[in-house]
């Protein structure tokens, strides 16, 4: 048995409206499988979704943006101005708020494991709005349910680029989103996921001390380079294979 972990923090990004994110998220939330979901209290109240805690096998954890690991580290180290990476082609620039959320995925999984409300040995992170790659509710639900039945000894993670055929430069790692990992799905053995979270946190602290921040997939690549035995990668893309191949 596996616990699903996800989160949604409204930072005002408007690539799609918040109502669409919540619509996508409900498809995940309403599945009757163990899940721990982190949401801001204001979102729960503003959009009338307090009923979610009454859904079977659903735990909603109220979350505050000040608790994001990046925000904590910046405050701890008194960093007021940090260098941001380049945006993907579809956006004008990545915001610090957005980066703080995507870099928090491993921390949310860690917190879910520490709670372990449903006493499972396996956990899987699924992006709250990942349904946008499907546009087929039944197929999406089928693949999520299939993922929830699988078990892995390592960190099972979606990979787009072949990891051993391209070595990015330091500048590319700092500035450009690199799709060695897809970002939206990873899971596996809880002890290995805790190790992944701790190594990711250490890497975040290291780069913020050097006054820059990067995309979460780039940071995970740095963790991977030094800890290849921790990972079990599978081929995917930003499409249904991100779940179907898990």
| Side-chain-facing half-sphere of 171: CA atoms under 13 Å | 0
**Count of C-beta atoms within a 10 Å radius of residue 116:** 14
Q: Convert the pLDDT of each residue in 126-177 to its tens digit.
A: 999 999 999 899 999 999 999 999 999 999 999 999 998 889 999 999 999 9
Q: Which pLDDT value is given to residue 161?
A: 96
Residues of the chain short of pLDDT 50, as ranges, are none
Q: Which pLDDT value is given to residue 91?
A: 60
Per the DSSP assignment, residues forming a β-bridge with 157 are: 186, 233
Q: Which pLDDT value is given to residue 20?
A: 85
Q: Specify whether the CB–CB gap between 27 and 83 falls below 8 A.
A: no
Q: Which pLDDT value is given to residue 237?
A: 96
Give long-range contacts, CB 8 A cutoff, 24+ apart: 202-210.
204/69, 204/70, 204/73, 204/103, 205/73, 208/70, 208/73, 208/74, 208/77, 208/79, 208/82, 209/77
Give residue 68's domain range.
2-244
d(CA 17, CA 10): 10
Angle at 120 between CA 61 and CA 153, to 5 degrees: 120
The domain tally of the chain equals 1
């Amino acid at each position: 048995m596996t616990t699903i972990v996800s989160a949604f923090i409204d930072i005002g990004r408007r690539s799609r409206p918040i109502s669409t994110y919540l619509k996508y998220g409900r498809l995940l939330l309403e599945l009757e499988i163990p899940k721990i979901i982190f949401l801001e209290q204001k979102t729960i109240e503003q959009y009338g979704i307090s009923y979610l805690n009454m859904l079977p096998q659903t735990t909603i954890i109220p979350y505050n943006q000040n608790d994001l690991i990046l925000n904590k580290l910046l405050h701890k180290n008194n960093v007021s101005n940090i260098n941001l990476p380049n945006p993907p082609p579809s956006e004008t620039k990545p915001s610090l708020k957005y980066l703080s959320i995507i870099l928090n995925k491993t921390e949310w999984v860690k917190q879910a494991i520490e709670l372990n409300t449903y006493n499972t040995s396996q956990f899987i992170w699924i992006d709250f709005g990942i349904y946008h790659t499907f546009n087929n509710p039944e197929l999406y639900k089928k693949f999520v349910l299939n993922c929830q039945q699988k078990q892995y000894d390592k960190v099972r993670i979606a990979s787009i680029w072949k990891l051993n055929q391209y070595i990015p430069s330091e500048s590319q790692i700092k500035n450009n989103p690199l799709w060695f990992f897809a970002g939206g799905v990873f899971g596996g053995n809880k002890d290995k996921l805790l190790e992944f979270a701790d190594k990711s946190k250490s890497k975040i602290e290291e780069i913020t001390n050097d006054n820059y921040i990067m995309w979460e997939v780039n940071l995970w690549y740095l963790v991977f380079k030094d800890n290849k035995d921790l990972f079990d990668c599978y081929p995917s893309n930003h499409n249904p294979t991100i779940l179907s191949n898990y």
